[in-house]
Amino acid sequence: MKQSFVILVILTILLGLPAGQGSAAPALQELNPNPPEQPVKLIFIHHSTGENWLTDGYGNLGRALDANNYFVSDTNYGWGPNNIGDRTDIPDWLEWFRSPDTPRYLNALLNESGQHSNYTRTLRDPGGQNTIVMFKSCFPNSNLDGRPNDPPGDYADYTVSGAKYVYNELLRFFATRPDILFVVITAPPVSDPTFAANARAFNLWLMYDWLAENDYPYNNVVVFDFYNVLTGPDHHHRYWNGDIQHTFTPGQDTLYYPSDDDHPSPEGSRKATEEFVPLLNIFYHRWQAGSAQLPPAQPPAPAGEETEENAPSASPSLIADFETSGTSGWVAYRDETTASRIVCGPQSEAAHAGNSALQIEFDIPAQTWGTCELPFDSPQDWRAGQGIGFYLRSSRQGLPYNLLLFSGADEEWATYLLYTETPAGSQDDWTYVEFAWSDFARADWEANGGAPFTTPERIYALAFGFDGLEDGSNAGVLWVDDIRLVGADQQPAEENEPQDGEDSGRGLPCLGSLFLPLCLAALLWAGRRK
């Protein structure tokens, strides 16, 4: 059953050594949520969501910052040299901060003192340049393709890997300007759950791993998890009872505060204002004091609680029953250069047990592919089982599909798969099938192709795959329920489980297997894009 967990830690978001080699790192300073004593100049790069957040009577952020001694200016559409203000998507930050035009943009940014949104500003301009730079991408940037645990790639795009690449590159510039406090505002969530697990994982990476992985030596970069605050009423990133609190319920990764579309509502925007402003004060005082700030490792869950939405339930065998475990996070991939079609996700029209099951509807032409994949936010240890089993129904018997496991080292996932078909009887009723680990073999297009599967202790993703038939489309519907590890809790065989000598539905050839290596290679490239 999904359980809430609370991460209650002092988020010293920065890794700080004072500028200059050989000097000792200062001690951590106590958290100070009070406003600066003198007015501080701040510039906010944003579009519509940020404008709403700043606006009086909507998010009230401009008014709240003004009351806390920040002289606020902002950019918006059409602002700046080359109209750079038009471009605030994640890949665009490289143009702002890592391009030949960066000196020109930065000069304009630091000397901007105008308002491009409707918010209260009572402070007089204290003079000088802006010393705090806040920047935020809008909600479409929460639709990141790929997998939650994809490592940083080597080019910018709208994937988990591509976004990590961008932010890693930004640190190379931020390190040259320790006199500026850069405040990263995570992109707000969307209502569509398709890429929600990716958005959650990427923003957790920004919060907990980004600076540490880069050994960032300064304290001039901080992160506010705007995304998290907007995903639930009990989801917070705030100063609370003397500490900094970051809390959320796993699996609740979509926008909780919608308006007419995915722009956060006034209620959500005001909640973000209340939580952000005291944190900004803390970040500012830390930066000014030059205090060492170590990014925390991901804290362990409280005893008895799971930290991942897709972690096994209290049953050691359960992977996904679509009631309490594995309900969200399923992602459909296809060859987007063709007319292939695949849609997958839990539905309530048919279930083996409980109220819902996974439904996969697909139409895969010859020489193309589609998959329905469940990525895990952390590697799963499946050594308690001898294999994997589940119940299925299908639109017809003999429907070819593939079962895939992604396993291995963190940076080098290996693909293990088997080819099979839906067994007799599955068109009319739920049928149990199971597969031993020995049924899986390393993909033959990878190193050591054909090698047996031997690493159930590190499972990164589980997928159902479909490839086109040699003579046409592979089309149909597959329903899956109660995915479990075989033998993990020694449950007695159910009435229609295969007995000794009976066909378990394993090992049957896939008619489209000639095309699978090419298809899945494309899938891995499209999904991971290092």
| Model confidence pLDDT, tens digit, residues 146-180 | 999 999 999 999 999 999 999 999 999 999 999 99
- The answer to whether residue 494 scores a pLDDT higher than 50 is no
At 452 the three-state DSSP class reads strand
Cβ within 8 Å of residue 180, ≥6 positions away: 110, 131, 132, 133, 174, 220
Looking at residue 6, its pLDDT comes to: 38
SS3 helix, strand, coil % of the chain, rounded to 5? 25, 25, 50
Looking at residue 411, its pLDDT comes to: 57
CA 410 to chain centre: 16
Enclosing H/E stretch for 70: strand 70-75
Looking at residue 260, its pLDDT comes to: 86
Tens-place pLDDT, residues 226-249:
999 999 999 999 999 889 999 999
Q: Report, in angstroms and rounded to the nearest whole number, the Rg of the chain calculated over CA atoms.
A: 25
* Residues 236/179, Cβ–Cβ less than 8 Å: no
- The answer to whether residue 511 scores a pLDDT higher than 80 is no
What does the alpha-carbon distance between residue 129 and residue 42 come to, in Å, rounded to a whole number? 9
Exposure of 417 in the CB half-sphere (CA atoms within 13 A): 26
Task: Output the average pLDDT for the chain.
Answer: 82
Looking at residue 264, its pLDDT comes to: 95
Tens-place pLDDT, residues 390-411:
999 999 999 999 999 999 765 5
CATH code: domain 318-528 is: 2.60.120.430
Exposure of 476 in the CB half-sphere (CA atoms within 13 A): 22
Please state which of the ranges 186-195, 227-236, 365-374 shows the lowest mean pLDDT: 365-374
Q: Specify the domain boundaries for CATH 3.40.50.1110 within the chain.
A: 5-289
Using alpha carbons, list the distances in angstroms from residue 338 to 363, 474, 524.
11, 14, 17
Q: DSSP class of residue 496?
A: T
Query: How confident is the model over 466-478, as a mean pLDDT?
Result: 91
Looking at residue 445, its pLDDT comes to: 82
Angle at the Cα of 231 (from 71 to 47), degrees rounded to 5? 40
What does the alpha-carbon distance between residue 215 and residue 218 come to, in Å, rounded to a whole number? 9
Nearest CA to 237 out of 438, 530, 10 is that of: 10
Residue owning tokens 């998290």: 228
* Residues 305/5, Cβ–Cβ less than 8 Å: yes
* Residues 35/5, Cβ–Cβ less than 8 Å: no
* Residues 289/16, Cβ–Cβ less than 8 Å: no
Tens-place pLDDT, residues 37-78:
999 999 999 999 999 999 999 999 999 999 999 999 999 999
At 53 the three-state DSSP class reads helix
Q: Specify the domain boundaries for CATH 2.60.120.430 within the chain.
A: 318-528
Tens-place pLDDT, residues 48-59:
999 999 999 999
What does the alpha-carbon distance between residue 330 and residue 463 come to, in Å, rounded to a whole number? 9
- The answer to whether residue 126 scores a pLDDT higher than 80 is yes
Looking at residue 410, its pLDDT comes to: 58
CATH code: domain 5-289 is: 3.40.50.1110
